[in-house]
Amino acid sequence: AGIPKTPFPDLSWLTSDISRFDLPDRYALLIPGGAVHRPDKRWPAESYREIVKSIAAEGVLPLVIGGPDEAELAAEITADGAAKSLAGETSFADIAELSRRAAGAVGNDTGPMHIAAICGCPSVVLFSKASNPDITAPRGDDVTILQREKLADLGVSEVAEALSLR
């Protein structure tokens, strides 16, 4: 576009009172959704259920966020009670504030992961062949990109290792 330098986005103005969610001090965001018409951009729900166990074992609450249309997916991931779902309950401002306080975030190539990364949350973003992280990856100081041709081939242990919870 002929723009020699692109400034880093500043979302410091995007704030919210998240006390209504009654969260513990240590939680990690899971962002398993994405465009419904692009299922190849989603890591399987079973894999998210497995990463919940890894996160919870570190004394961190796995917190699933997403839109109202992802409530069923969130319920599937949180069915065993080790994680909490806020699917359908958060605004963009809530996501920004949750991200600033989270120990980390893991999620698909979707908009809320961009918010998490920009707000300084250590983020692991999962890409399939359906999109190019060289062009569309979230920007931030602590962003790890993991990519496989098919996200189902991305192992839970690799994602857990990449997710360094602060």
Amino acid (1-letter code) at residue 27: Y
- pLDDT on residue 2: 84
Q: What is the pLDDT of residue 3?
A: 82
pLDDT per residue over 53-96, tens digit each? 999 999 999 999 999 999 999 999 999 999 999 999 999 999 99
pTM above 0.85, yes or no: yes
Give residue-wise pLDDT tens across range 4-30. 888 889 999 999 999 999 999 999 999
The C-alpha atoms of residue 151 and residue 1 are separated, in whole angstroms, by 32
Mean pLDDT score across all residues of the chain: 96
Give the pLDDT of residue 7: 86
Q: How many CB atoms lie within 10 A of CB 145?
A: 15
Query: What DSSP letter does each residue of 22-83 carry, written as one string?
Result: ---S-EEEEE----TT-GGGS--HHHHHHHHHHHHHTT-EEEE---GGGHHHHHHHTTTSSS
